[in-house]
Amino acid sequence: MSYYLATQQNITQWIKGMASENPVFFPEKYGHSSYRFAPVGADSEIQFEQYKPTVLPPVKLLIPAREELLSFRKKADGTTTVESSLDTSFRILAGVRPCDLKGIFLVDLFLKEGVPDPYYLARRANTAIIGWGCTTPCDSQAFCAAVGSLGHTEGADVFITPLKDGDLLVEVLTERGKQLAAGADWKPYEDGAARKVGAVADLPEPFGRTFPVPVEDIFNQVSRRWDSPVWDKHVERCFSCGTCNLVCPTCYCFDVSDDINLDVESGTRTRTWDGCMLPHFAVVGGGHNFRPEPAARQRHRVKRKFEYLPEKFREGAVCVGCGRCGRQCTAHIDIYDIVSDLIGEGGR
């Protein structure tokens, strides 16, 4: 690992230089107050100010909304040829905040485990990540510190920490990071580690919303609640639209379907985003639904983030505290409020 000191201008030039050779995605403002990861062009503005998290987390660039798994062609003799569809193009995700880095780190683990998911892993292996530290909470919805994702850097090839004087501390973390950094106009910086500790110590306290108990205790509280009035309290307003699933950095469930082309001979098998909050998610052939009630679906979603997957993978909360689900929910249902209520109920 090596440290460098860079100015905003250095970083802007570096990112635009990389973007002239490979697709680089960086958060850009669109509409009135929203942000999205978009390809960097010669005229793009590199955002150094703190901003609200992008509507969709960057992990969705690794899990497209619609992804071809295979293509097929029926031949005249009745047989079918089948080809795999694998995206091995190279891309760089830059400006990835710690919450989103934790999200990608977790999805890496989930999709590597057991039978590995080749489509995701191929895309991930061909993706470089430039992480970007947060010095202030992005808005009043975030609770990244409370779930332990604020300081997350694992999974990044290069990690940039903004310093108080406006300069940036650059950490090169991997071999690929070293390749990306080749030719960058930065000053090697021996005191980098100490300076980073200093920058972290300067973060506001508390950083965003907090829970009254440490994250390990949240797991205990959540895992004890199967029957709880909390499951009905918030879901009363739920439209079962699945937006919370779609914007979540650790949701990756999918549906698989076939499409046939107009030649009626060839077509594709694709997977598309699906969500456990959608009413049909646990329906089986014949129509039985194992989670017909919105409350059962919400319980599944919350427990997946705070009980099931944390128990299985032991990497802390699977909710990264980005606040996206609460921010985007039409009915203002916020996983932070649900978990707070479960904790409060447990304390009684």
Q: Which residues bind other proteins (CB under 8 A)?
A: 22, 69-70, 72, 74, 78-80, 82, 84, 86, 88-90, 110-111, 113-119, 121-122, 125-126, 128, 176, 179, 226, 252-260, 267, 269, 271, 274, 276, 281-286, 288, 290-291, 296, 300, 303-304, 307-309, 311-312
Of 92 and 96, which has the nearer Cβ to other proteins? 92
Of 129 and 138, which has the nearer Cβ to other proteins? 129
Least distance from other proteins to the Cβ atom of residue 58, Å:
18
**In angstroms, what CA-CA distances link 281 with 99, 173, 226, 332?**
27, 40, 20, 22
Of 48 and 72, which has the nearer Cβ to other proteins? 72
Burial of residue 345, with CB atoms counted within 10 A of its CB: 0-12 exposed, 13-18 middle, 19 or more buried:
middle
Least distance from other proteins to the Cβ atom of residue 212, Å:
26
Q: Which residue(s) pair with 38 in the sheet? A: 26
Residue type, 229: P
Of 138 and 246, which has the nearer Cβ to other proteins? 246
CA 242, 246, 247, 253 torsion-angle sign: positive
Of 164 and 288, which has the nearer Cβ to other proteins? 288
Least distance from other proteins to the Cβ atom of residue 303, Å:
7
CA separation for the pair 142, 109 (Å, rounded): 24
Least distance from other proteins to the Cβ atom of residue 151, Å:
27
**Residue 291, both tokens:** 């989670």
Least distance from other proteins to the Cβ atom of residue 17, Å:
14
Q: Is 219 left (phi over 0), alpha (psi -120 to 50) or beta?
A: alpha
Least distance from other proteins to the Cβ atom of residue 301, Å:
11
Least distance from other proteins to the Cβ atom of residue 56, Å:
18
Task: Reduce the DSSP state of residue 306 to 3 states and report it.
Answer: helix
Of 187 and 312, which has the nearer Cβ to other proteins? 312
Helix (H) or strand (E) holding 39: strand 34-39
CA separation for the pair 252, 271 (Å, rounded): 11
Nearest by Cα to 133 from 236, 235, 203, 39: 203
Of 192 and 294, which has the nearer Cβ to other proteins? 294
Q: How many residues does the chain have?
A: 348
